[in-house]
Structure 1
Amino acid sequence: MPLHVPAAPEPALRTVLAALGSPSAARAAGTGAQGPLTPELPLPVHALEQVTRRGGTPRTRLTGWRFTIRGYGRAVAAETVLTPDGWEFSHFFGGPYLASTERALRQAEALTTSYQVRLLSVPELYMLTLWLHGDPTADAASTLPGPGDLLVPLAPAPPGIAAHRPHRFSELLPVLTLRLTPPPLLKTPA
């Protein structure tokens, strides 16, 4: 089924284009490219919040947009962040999550259901997932995961969580909750 990649906000795209237009962009991006670099595959980046053992509805918060930048066969990413003043360019980076994201996207294309593609970060676990949102037409900034949403942990994943294995959000949430909630303090006898 086709994956739906939401359109990035114009101001976020403009910040990346401005960064790519700087004289040192190719060097900073590490591509070594001499020609024009163009951002592609914009993915909204959300952070997981409000995960506790006490229950409640976990939420996500839109924190930025990530763009893939290709040059001479090598991909890097450019990320923007949402600030009180609007969208700002954050940084260029490489690393294992780029190839892992592309692999997860290829896996997702083989699914029979249409999804909107997002990234979901779990900062406390140094974890990033491909978030396949069940409503392909939803606003990319919407913060509530749906019951049919899938999360595909990207490599490297935290110990005990298999990378590239799709999980329903409702299946993975208890594992994340257990890891994110500190154990209760034990009282020592007086």
Structure 2
Amino acid sequence: MSGEGDFEVEVPDASEIIDGLFVGTAEAGIEATVGANCRQIRYILNVGGCVTPAMFAAVAEALANAENGNDDGRGTKTLAWNNDQVYTQNGVVTLAMPMDDFGRTQLTEAFLQRCFDFIAAGLEEGRVLVHCRLGVNRSVTVAAAFLMRRNRFSADQALQLLRERRPGAQPNEAYCEQLRQMPQSWEDGQVADAEYDAIALAP
């Protein structure tokens, strides 16, 4: 699989992988923030770089703040913008951690730990959605890494569970290869340890 744009099999907008953790599409993220939020999502991790209503709201707020001041010392107004930011809309907290669709993002310790901490915090408070554009590649990769880290699954075990719970899940092979290298990295102490409790599988 080269990218999400090549995927033609119809998949649901979101699938529950373990109790409280969903993987899905950008549309599922929109439904949770400005729609009925039928799944009662509390936290959203957007790894697709998709521009969602929550991001629009954050940009509007940042622009308003810039209009109110934020002088850069040269008499001009500045607007701070960072992809790794948290946005809140209608009570739903969103973190944007964009990944490349073609497997070129390096799943570094810092990147993964930020994602893991956000997902874990969200599960403490309710339900979490991890989404990209189609919900078959980037979001699946991060969810698989989370299962590996939290439950000590192998890459194959995590991916098998995701494919069972999320029809069409098919992360880019470059991401699969990075996932396969992760357990050894964790055993070598290259990733900060975190005391995650065992988690229940979704029914």
TM over 0.5: no
More strand per residue: 1
More helix per residue: 2
TM-score by length of 2: 0.27
Higher relative contact order (CA 8 A, sep 6+): 2
